[in-house]
């Protein structure tokens, strides 16, 4: 056996594999999948150039492993409900959702990598995205939908509900996805500490104002 990368049991072996995952997370997050070179990753990991192919098969398999691990790390660091009971008022749950999401994206630690990786995945989707949407993003979207559903008038149709959910997340993701433009337009903006909390508060208030005053569903046309 000279290629342990397809051995599921060996997936937790050796420190080199861990170092590669760590280094690859940094490099991929900094320059993206395509611009990242296995040589740069291996150098940062203190490993040989052949280490990636030996431990993971090829560059893309390493990237896939990085993406899934970074998602786990980010969600573990900043849980969706931030320790809030499921029966808390929807306003509080929305506020917690927005805050945790922003922190997950703008944190300094390794949790921030996931945000950068996802942003790059939006430009050049890889096969790893399907797995991620199925396992992590869809459940999160359903959680938000539940919160939004408790805020809009009862009987709001499904399509409006989905669009309202997206109006909420869009405000969160915007500052991250469009950071190059945002920081050029407003160089004084910051995205950590108290400033991040203020941003979360703004998004929450804006969304609450819209959702609370969302027009009641129109009368369905008689069939």
| Using rule CB under 8 A, residue 103 touches a copy of itself | no
Among 11, 13, 18, 34, binds a copy of itself (CB under 8 A): 34
Which of these, 2, 10, 15, 113, lies nearest to 53 by C-alpha position? 2
Among 22, 26, 81, 91, binds a copy of itself (CB under 8 A): 91
Q: How far is 173 from 105, CA to CA, in rounded Å?
A: 8
Q: How far is the CB of 72 from DNA (least distance, A)?
A: 22
| DSSP-assigned letter for residue 192 | S
Q: How far is 189 from 195, CA to CA, in rounded Å?
A: 8
Q: Which of residues 110-129 bind a copy of itself (CB under 8 A)?
A: 119-125, 129
Cα separations in angstroms, 75 against 101, 111, 220: 9, 8, 40
Of DNA, a copy of itself, none, which one does residue 218 interact with (CB within 5 to 8 Å by kind)?
a copy of itself
Among 6, 11, 15, 135, binds DNA (CB under 7 A): 15
| Using rule CB under 8 A, residue 88 touches a copy of itself | yes
Structure tokens of 151? 């805020």
Among 76, 155, 185, 187, binds a copy of itself (CB under 8 A): 185
Q: Specify the 3-state DSSP secondary structure of 220.
A: coil
| Using rule CB under 7 A, residue 36 touches DNA | yes
Q: How far is 121 from 32, CA to CA, in rounded Å?
A: 9
Structure tokens of 220? 């369905």
Q: How far is the CB of 14 from DNA (least distance, A)?
A: 5
Q: Which of residues 43-62 bind DNA (CB under 7 A)?
A: 47-55, 58-60
Q: How far is the CB of 78 from a copy of itself (least distance, A)?
A: 17
* Contact indicator for 107, 176 with CB cutoff of 8 Å: no
**Residues in touch with DNA (CB under 7 A):** 1-2, 4, 10, 13-16, 36-40, 47-55, 58-60
């Amino acid at each position: 056996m000279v290629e342990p990368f397809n051995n599921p049991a060996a997936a937790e072996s050796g420190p080199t594999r861990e170092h590669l995952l760590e280094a690859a997370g940094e490099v991929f997050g900094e320059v993206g999948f395509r611009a990242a070179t296995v040589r740069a990753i291996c150098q940062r990991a203190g490993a040989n150039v052949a280490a990636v192919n030996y431990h993971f098969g090829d560059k893309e398999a390493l990237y896939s492993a990085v993406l899934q691990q970074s998602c786990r790390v980010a969600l573990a660091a900043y849980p969706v409900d931030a320790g809030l009971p499921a029966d808390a008022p929807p306003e509080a749950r929305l506020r917690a959702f927005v805050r945790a999401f922003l922190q997950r994206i703008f944190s300094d630690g390794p949790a921030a990598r996931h945000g950068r990786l996802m942003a790059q995945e939006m430009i050049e989707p890889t096969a790893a995205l399907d797995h991620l949407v199925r396992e992590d993003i869809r459940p999160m979207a359903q959680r938000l939908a539940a919160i939004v559903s408790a805020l809009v008038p009862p009987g709001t149709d499904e399509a409006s509900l989905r669009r309202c959910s997206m109006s909420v997340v869009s405000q969160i993701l915007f500052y991250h996805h469009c950071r190059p433009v945002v920081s050029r337009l407003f160089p004084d903006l910051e995205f950590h500490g108290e400033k991040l909390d203020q941003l979360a508060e703004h998004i929450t208030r804006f969304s609450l104002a819209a959702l609370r005053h969302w027009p009641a569903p129109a009368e369905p046309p008689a069939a």
